[in-house]
Amino acid sequence: MPSISKRLFLILVLTTSLVWLSAVLWIFLSTRAEVERVLDARLMEAGRMVSSLISRQERDAVPDRSTTVEIPLREHSAYERQLSCQIWSLQGALISRSDAAPAEKLSEQEDGISETVVDGERWRVYAITNTDIGIRVLVGDNLSMRDHLVNDVIRGLLLPALFIVPVLAVLIWFSVRRGLEPLRKIAGDLEARHATDLSPIEDVDTAKEIVPVLQSLNGLFARVAGLRERERNFTAFAAHELRTPLAGLKTQAQVALASEDPAIRDQALRQIVVGVDRTGRLVRQLLDMSAVEALDHESEKRGVVRPSFVLRSLAAELADRARQVSVEVAPEMDAVELHIEPELFTLAARNLMENAVNHSPPGGVVRCRVAGQFEAGQVIIEDDGPGIPEEELPRVTERFFRGRNKAPVGSGLGLAIVELALGRSGWRLQLQNRDAGGLRAVIAQAA
């Protein structure tokens, strides 16, 4: 698993070392160039000085002497005797040399700077020819001395680095850990948290780079908590809606068994029939709901439906003859076709019409009509019932929600099924209370 602190540490240590090494390289190069420039200047100066000091007499006075004229140098430096001097006659005889100078000729070049190897040592030699007196002065610098000088400077830089770099590494390590402390704190919080704890993480003093992470985490927590809450509510409501009718059936059955009075017994049995009808409807709706949910996404948006056809057959089935509630389907609906999955439309229409009939007063009329043209067509189902209190309108499509004006057979699932079925096929449900009283349910194209 990659670790941010390790990564950061490596990056920082590597870049720091790289910067350090570049600086050393730059200092090395510039020191070497500078040393070369200064020492070459000194070399030339020394050559000219020797050349000007020697007179013709001196040249003649010490002819063919194999011993050298000593040019004494005080000996108290590591760089002592770095200069060697030879004086040659133009004929090629060594006239004189300094005591550290090799006997061999330092350079064959007649004038100017050159580099040679004599006796295995590298020399930088300046040659100057004095034609007046017929000599050539060679002044040489031992190059190993020069290297020694540059190396000393570089060593002076690198030695402290050997101590400083580890210290720097430790400092970087601690800084990285400290810098990542907020992250570690959140990770610790998350780790210590119980699996069911969905409360938001507090962001006291959180670094601003982590705030977005924290916000998305808290957003996720809120969504999961909401989902879980809805699930819990659904289970609770489902339990209530399933067990209450069962309790009613059992109680009525026990009443029928316990009572001696035939009137009470008959009434109890009638209530049992009502209870079984209601439970049957609830079971059907629960199955409808899971059928809609299980529908595969491909088939949802396909299909064309002739609403007049569906609504007429539903009307024949659902009209309540006992309470004289009738259903009217407007004739102009015959010309309308809707792009909606027929099964889903039938399901939605059935639940809406059932609601309308159940909420209608005795003798009431449920009207089905259309509004708008082909593409923007809407199917409208209206009743003369009590409508829905305005404050309940936003909640009526929640599963198992039952408002105050509930029908005795309602389960609170009907409108939830309608919304689910229409939503699946790109349509939506609008509910309005009519000015004249009653409810208007509109099946409209989703925006």
Partner 1 sequence: MRVLIVEDDSVLRDGLKVGLGIVGFNADAVESCEEANAVLRNHEFDALVLDLMLPDGSGLDVLKALRERRDTTPVLLLTARDQVPDRIAGLDAGADDYLGKPFDLEEVAARLRALVRRASGRPQALLEWRGLRIDPASQNVELDGEPVRLSRREYAILQALMVHPGQILSRSQIEEKLYGWQEEVESNAVEVHIHNLRNKLGTEMIRTVRGFGYRLGEES
Binding segment toward partner 1, per CB under 8 A, in 84-92, 122-130, 233-241, 358-366: 233-241
What residues have CB less than 8 Å from 365, skipping those under 6 apart? 325, 326, 327, 328, 384
Percent of the chain that is helix, strand, coil (3-state, to 5): 55, 15, 30
Of 55-84, which residues contact partner 1 (CB under 8 A)? Answer: none
Amino acid identity, position 131: T
Q: At what angle do helices 414-424 and 262-294 cross, to 10 degrees?
A: 20
Binding segment toward partner 1, per CB under 8 A, in 77-85, 116-124, 236-244, 414-422: 236-244
CB of 358 to partner 1, least distance (A): 13
Residue 431 and residue 441 in contact, taking contact as beta carbons nearer than 8 Å: yes
Of 368-387, which residues contact partner 1 (CB under 8 A)? Answer: none
Edge to edge, what strands does the sheet with 439-445 contain? 326-329, 365-371, 378-382, 439-445, 427-433
Q: What φ, ψ does residue 432 adopt, rounded to 5°?
A: -140, 145
How many whole angstroms separate alpha carbon 46 and alpha carbon 443? 110
- Burial pattern 366-394, b for ≥16 Cβ within 10 A else e, equals bbbbbeeeeeebbbbbbbbbbbbeeebee
Q: What φ, ψ does residue 234 adopt, rounded to 5°?
A: -60, -45
CB of 198 to partner 1, least distance (A): 17
CB of 242 to partner 1, least distance (A): 7
- Burial pattern 53-77, b for ≥16 Cβ within 10 A else e, equals ebeeeebeeeeeeeebeebeeeeee
How many whole angstroms separate alpha carbon 442 and alpha carbon 164? 80
CB of 268 to partner 1, least distance (A): 7
Residue 158 and residue 47 in contact, taking contact as beta carbons nearer than 8 Å: no
CB of 261 to partner 1, least distance (A): 9
Q: What is the CA radius of gyration of the chain?
A: 53
Binding segment toward partner 1, per CB under 8 A, in 133-141, 248-256, 306-314, 339-347: 248-256
Structure tokens at 293: 């949910």
Tell me, by CB under 8 A, how many residues bind partner 1: 33
Candidates 33, 171, 222, 239: give the one binding partner 1 (CB under 8 A).
239
Binding segment toward partner 1, per CB under 8 A, in 46-54, 151-159, 234-242, 312-320: 234-242
Classified as helix, coil or strand, 53 is helix
Candidates 240, 284, 302, 395: give the one binding partner 1 (CB under 8 A).
240
Q: What φ, ψ does residue 412 adopt, rounded to 5°?
A: 85, 10
Q: Residue 129 interacts with partner 1 (CB under 8 A)?
A: no
Residue 51 and residue 203 in contact, taking contact as beta carbons nearer than 8 Å: no
CB of 354 to partner 1, least distance (A): 18
Binding segment toward partner 1, per CB under 8 A, in 1-9, 99-107, 144-152, 231-239: 231-239
Residue 398 and residue 431 in contact, taking contact as beta carbons nearer than 8 Å: no
Residue 190 has a CB neighbour count (10 Å cut-off) of 11
241/419 with CB nearer partner 1: 241
CB of 233 to partner 1, least distance (A): 11
Candidates 31, 244, 378, 432: give the one binding partner 1 (CB under 8 A).
244
Tell me the CA end-to-end span of the chain in Å, nearest whole number. 47
Candidates 159, 246, 283, 304: give the one binding partner 1 (CB under 8 A).
246
Candidates 193, 250, 284, 302: give the one binding partner 1 (CB under 8 A).
250
Q: How far from 55 is each of 61, 130, 133, 428, CA to CA, in Å?
A: 10, 10, 7, 120
Q: Pattern of binders to partner 1 over 252-281, x per CB under 8 A?
A: x-xx--xx----x--xx--xx-xx--x---
CB of 360 to partner 1, least distance (A): 18
133/407 with CB nearer partner 1: 407
Q: Pattern of binders to partner 1 over 390-429, x per CB under 8 A?
A: ------------xxx-x-x---------------------
Candidates 123, 237, 345, 427: give the one binding partner 1 (CB under 8 A).
237
Binding segment toward partner 1, per CB under 8 A, in 10-18, 109-117, 158-166, 232-240: 232-240
Candidates 128, 138, 139, 249: give the one binding partner 1 (CB under 8 A).
249
276/335 with CB nearer partner 1: 276
Applying CB under 8 A, which residues contact partner 1?
A: 236-237, 239-252, 254-255, 258-259, 264, 267-268, 271-272, 274-275, 278, 402-404, 406, 408
